[in-house]
Amino acid sequence: MPEYGWLVFYCALILLASMFGGWVPLVGKVTHSKLQFYLSLSAGVMLGAAFFHVMPDAMEKSEEYFGWWMSLGVVGLFCIERFIAPHSHEIDGHNHDHHAHEHSHLEFSESLHKHEHGPVASNPGEKRAAAPAVAGWAAVFGLTVHTFMNGLGLAGAVNSGEAWMGAPGVALFLAIVLHKPADALAISTVLSRKGISRRKIFLVLLGFAAMIPVGVGAF
């Protein structure tokens, strides 16, 4: 099969896998144990493709600048997760000082109450920080750009002519097709919890999955 044939085949499978992963939480229930098993498998394939296929080529092409690009990527991801994407389980920053001021007093009161009346529940006045409303759409945008870059990488791997078991770019294809349903599942879950209709979620998922062939075409 020629290179263009492999790219069409890969794009079709990835698009179907993405749509399936995004539609599963809307029509059924995904158990925690099954989700963890699947995520572990896809993460392992991604790590293998990154360390044994992508990074050696990047080191060869980047030469002495490889370390700079790697550090920029790691620090950039850390900053995005720490400062742009808040976690809903974190304590609200507006009440942090107030809680810190009363911490010792609460510990004494709770220990006294436990001694007299038994265990007590956690502080009901503690507020939790919630992600902003735009966070869901920001996640969709970020994953869409990420998928576009996957398409570029897939086309580059196939175009390089590196074959495994007679199929060029199969390592990168496996890394993409195994983790892309998880990305789509995250998108559908976030948007459904925001009250977005299934029709709009379907259109968003379709545009998200289509970024693979768009990235391939751009390459």
* pLDDT score of 175: 85
Q: What is the pLDDT of residues 7-23, one digit of tens each?
A: 999 999 999 998 888 88
Could you tell me which of 12, 33, 16, 14 has the C-alpha nearest to residue 24? Answer: 16
* pLDDT score of 26: 73
* pLDDT score of 128: 46
Distance of CA 118 to the CA centre of its chain: 43
The parts of the chain modelled with pLDDT lower than 50 are 88-122, 125-130
* pLDDT score of 132: 52
Cα distance between residue 207 and residue 145, in whole Å: 11
* pLDDT score of 215: 92
* pLDDT score of 30: 66
* pLDDT score of 104: 46
Contact 141, 84 (CB under 8 A): no
Distance of CA 2 to the CA centre of its chain: 32
* pLDDT score of 32: 72
Cα distance between residue 194 and residue 136, in whole Å: 8
